[in-house]
Chains A and B, each alone.
Chain A
């Protein structure tokens, strides 16, 4: 598969008063053409910051301190702000977790869509821009688009707002979409609608999708490949089926066992301890204080990301000898 996005050795640190927060500390991440990849982790894993780094919109005091982000053959980290502006929203797009705050309450839905359309397609006339805006609303399955287009965000429900945010992200036909927890703030039944929509759009538009989430259910449903992050580093990368059936990292195993399911009763596994402090993360493997299989070497040496099977990588010293159970 052709690689669309190739991130190597990304390091993004936050230089705060309390210390340097190593939010992303050496992450490799690839997305292929027309592929749906999950970026999974809990809080502090670095999944959102990775997304922000690609767009180079990491808020201060954050700074990208190392690595390369190759998109369409060029390193995004070497581009000027002007050049990045041509890429954001047009070639690569992002939707955010809270649809209420990602839409400006002062402008109508139509205005906000028109803004994006016009930004990247200056040649269109005003009439064409608004027609396109209505078409976009149709595309995201919003009923009565000609009426909606004149409404303000606060007049709409959460699910609708998120769909509009998606429409806005797809306005210029990007080849890659980052969706950061798009359904976390939505009701369950609305979540299903939005996920279904995202799946559908991805296929229709032949777009690559990076689904940033902490929900293993969403990962199972919508991704083809998964990358598991923990405390700013990669724990495991695999095709979705392989990850669930035969995880190769203790953290993945623990996560799968801690997550409850609605289709069966099971014993919920407790993962002791807490998400580590990113200013002074644990030495060696960052998961070792909570890992039931940890040995001395885990506290000393950072495990490298190794190939364990076709397309399957794990950053654990003992992937060879451990036999871990899946979902």
Chain B
């Protein structure tokens, strides 16, 4: 190996021919994520549930909320070949309900989170960027929303809604409520990230080069703050699913659409004798929430802003 007393790094040719691994943020993060077994497990679980949710209209042997089993004289039966998860007293095929329920719960979970993320990014960005009054006011609003207890609020709203409109909550309405009241966590994270990134030198360098505000926000700020938001969103989905299940279980949910909570609620009274009606949707909830949590943790470990070796 020869050394040269020059300004350049020695062995320039060797470096050029060295096989380089793809080094973008995402590639590095993916490689790191791949090694995290828990995260991978989470990803598989999430993909699994997404799959069955989307194919449930075709995959499930019985349509949603179908009490057909009652007419077939097969109500209240323990798991069998025809009804792998058994049937409820009212004639529901638990297996079908679990499949349909996955669509319902994912709908709420993902939908509510999408709304929360949009609102959270909007408010968080404004709060992070504005210097002075507006930022303070938005921060206070976020803090107020943060302290509102979500579950009691929705239960109360459902009650009032029932009295006023003589109708229970629809799933979409629950989704909207969860989104509209659940954005504050994201807003805090976004605001914090913007405060951090705003003063970083590469942002100032872009300004010094003459870049306009929109360019800086779109090209420099947002890509650099997305990662904690993605992680939070994943965990938020898990939380929203769980909240929905609790709402339905308590009887305040949508009685016309299949959700796990609804099925659990229906079988709750008979839990001693017909355990399958509560246990299977309960397990589904458990795994779904677990899956999103593991995925979120895995992402968080992999997409670590610490970039240096």
Question: Which residues of A are at the interface with B, using a C-beta cutoff of 8 A?
Answer: 18, 270, 272-274, 288-292, 294, 299
Contacting residues, chain A, for B3 (C-beta < 8 A): 272, 288-292, 294
Question: Which residues of B are at the interface with A, using a C-beta cutoff of 8 A?
Answer: 1, 3-11, 309
When chains A and B are docked, how far (Å) is the Cα of A296 from the Cα of B188? 59
Most buried by A among B5, B8, B10: B5
Most buried by B among A18, A273, A292: A273
Which 3 A-B residue pairings sit nearest by Cβ, starting from the closest? A292-B5, A294-B3, A299-B1
When chains A and B are docked, how far (Å) is the Cα of A276 from the Cα of B169? 65
Q: List 17 A-B contacts (CB under 8 A).
A: A18-B309, A270-B7, A272-B3, A272-B5, A272-B6, A272-B7, A272-B8, A272-B10, A273-B9, A273-B10, A288-B3, A289-B1, A289-B3, A289-B10, A290-B10, A292-B5, A299-B1
**Shortest beta-carbon distance from B53 to chain A in Å:** 36
Considering only CB atoms, which chain B residue lies closest to A269 in the complex?
A: B5
Most buried by A among B1, B3, B4, B8: B3
Contacting residues, chain B, for A270 (C-beta < 8 A): 7
Considering only CB atoms, which chain B residue lies closest to A294 in the complex?
A: B3
**Shortest beta-carbon distance from A3 to chain B in Å:** 37
Considering only CB atoms, which chain A residue lies closest to B4 in the complex?
A: A272
Contacting residues, chain B, for A289 (C-beta < 8 A): 1, 3, 10-11
**Shortest beta-carbon distance from B292 to chain A in Å:** 26
Contacting residues, chain B, for A299 (C-beta < 8 A): 1
Contacting residues, chain A, for B6 (C-beta < 8 A): 272
**Shortest beta-carbon distance from B31 to chain A in Å:** 11
Contacting residues, chain B, for A288 (C-beta < 8 A): 1, 3
When chains A and B are docked, how far (Å) is the Cα of A292 from the Cα of B309? 29
Most buried by B among A18, A272, A292: A272
Considering only CB atoms, which chain B residue lies closest to A296 in the complex?
A: B1
When chains A and B are docked, how far (Å) is the Cα of A272 from the Cα of B3? 9
Considering only CB atoms, which chain B residue lies closest to A16 in the complex?
A: B309
When chains A and B are docked, how far (Å) is the Cα of A288 from the Cα of B309? 24
**Shortest beta-carbon distance from A253 to chain B in Å:** 13
Tell whether, in the assembled complex, residue A272 and residue B309 are in contact, meaning their CB atoms are under 8 Å apart: no
When chains A and B are docked, how far (Å) is the Cα of A291 from the Cα of B8? 13
Contacting residues, chain A, for B4 (C-beta < 8 A): 272
**Shortest beta-carbon distance from B302 to chain A in Å:** 12
Contacting residues, chain A, for B8 (C-beta < 8 A): 272
When chains A and B are docked, how far (Å) is the Cα of A288 from the Cα of B9? 13
When chains A and B are docked, how far (Å) is the Cα of A273 from the Cα of B7? 8
**Shortest beta-carbon distance from B5 to chain A in Å:** 5
When chains A and B are docked, how far (Å) is the Cα of A292 from the Cα of B9? 13
When chains A and B are docked, how far (Å) is the Cα of A270 from the Cα of B4? 12
When chains A and B are docked, how far (Å) is the Cα of A294 from the Cα of B1? 10
Tell whether, in the assembled complex, residue B9 and residue A272 are in contact, meaning their CB atoms are under 8 Å apart: yes
Contacting residues, chain B, for A273 (C-beta < 8 A): 9-10
When chains A and B are docked, how far (Å) is the Cα of A270 from the Cα of B10? 14
Considering only CB atoms, which chain B residue lies closest to A287 in the complex?
A: B3
Considering only CB atoms, which chain A residue lies closest to B1 in the complex?
A: A299
When chains A and B are docked, how far (Å) is the Cα of A290 from the Cα of B8? 11
Considering only CB atoms, which chain A residue lies closest to B2 in the complex?
A: A294
Considering only CB atoms, which chain B residue lies closest to A284 in the complex?
A: B1
When chains A and B are docked, how far (Å) is the Cα of A273 from the Cα of B11? 10
